């Protein structure tokens, strides 16, 4: 391990990155470059704002990149350009990680691994019950991941069409968000955007319902302590902020790319530093 001195880019540097649109706001470059530096690895990670996914995939092969994170809006569309696909990523129908070996591109999904690892620090997932809020891509990955770990699941969302469709895929019951007031489970996971940005004061579930859960996890990480987590603490719940899933999905990516154990604390500190105003 080196002393954390600045990375030297040279002819042997292996290149990684994140592709999406937009990506300028991504915290992944800070997290992964800190990890590479901490372990003295001659690797660098860059953001790539991609307009055309087909051309981008050709470019990744041609330029010899070793690994890429995939974010919005390409997590689904990237699948048709892969040479192989992880079975859980296939179930989820979304990929957030590319592993590139001699031009062959393998797709995986570490979002579910990140969510499971964050939750399993507080509860044993096998046999536990979880109420999952949301019906978008994040909810889909988290839902499949929880089922993979042996948890039982109830889904709740604002829009019945999307919610019922995802619940059918997951094979679990669905509730309208308005009816979650009496729901009970070991854990509550917010995979909606409520609580982020201009919706910071909005709660995805009634405050009075929070006492029905031992653990409350929010995948929103800006702000780091959302109103949901503040209210959950007051209700006596253990809480998990959005940094945990972001961190652990990144750690799983790092391990897929390098075969080495991720320096989780270094990565956590780089994320916290990036979130400072």
Q: Which residues are identified as catalytic?
A: 75
Q: How far is CA 109 from CA 96, 147, 222, 237, 256, in A?
A: 5, 15, 23, 29, 11
User: What's the rounded Cα separation, in Å, for the pair 114 and 92?
Assistant: 14
CA 51, distance to chain mean position in Å, is 22
């Amino acid at each position: 391990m080196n002393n954390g001195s600045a990375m030297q880019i040279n002819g042997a540097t292996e290149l990684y990155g994140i592709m999406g649109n937009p990506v300028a706001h991504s915290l992944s470059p800070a997290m992964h470059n800190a990890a590479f530096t901490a372990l003295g690895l001659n690797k660098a990670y860059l953001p790539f704002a991609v307009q055309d996914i087909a051309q981008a995939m050709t470019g990744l092969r041609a330029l010899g990149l070793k690994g890429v994170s995939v974010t919005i809006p390409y997590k689904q569309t990237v699948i048709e350009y892969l040479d192989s696909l992880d079975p859980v990523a296939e179930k989820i129908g979304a990929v957030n990680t590319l592993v590139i070996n001699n031009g062959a591109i393998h797709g995986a999904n570490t979002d579910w691994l990140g969510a499971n690892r964050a939750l399993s620090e507080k509860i044993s997932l096998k046999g536990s019950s979880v109420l999952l809020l949301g019906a978008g891509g994040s909810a889909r990955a988290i839902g499949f991941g929880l089922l993979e770990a042996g948890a039982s699941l109830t889904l709740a969302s604002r829009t019945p069409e999307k919610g019922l469709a995802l619940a059918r895929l997951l094979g679990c019951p669905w509730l309208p968000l308005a009816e979650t007031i009496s729901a009970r489970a070991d854990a509550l996971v917010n995979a909606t955007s409520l609580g982020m940005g201009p919706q910071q004061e909005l709660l995805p579930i009634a405050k009075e319902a929070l006492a029905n859960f031992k653990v409350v996890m929010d995948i929103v990480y800006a702000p780091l302590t959302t109103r949901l987590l503040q209210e959950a603490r007051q209700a006596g719940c253990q809480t998990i902020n959005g940094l945990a899933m972001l961190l652990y999905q990144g750690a799983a990516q790092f391990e897929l790319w390098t075969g080495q154990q991720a320096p989780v604390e270094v990565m956590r500190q780089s994320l916290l530093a990036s979130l400072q105003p």
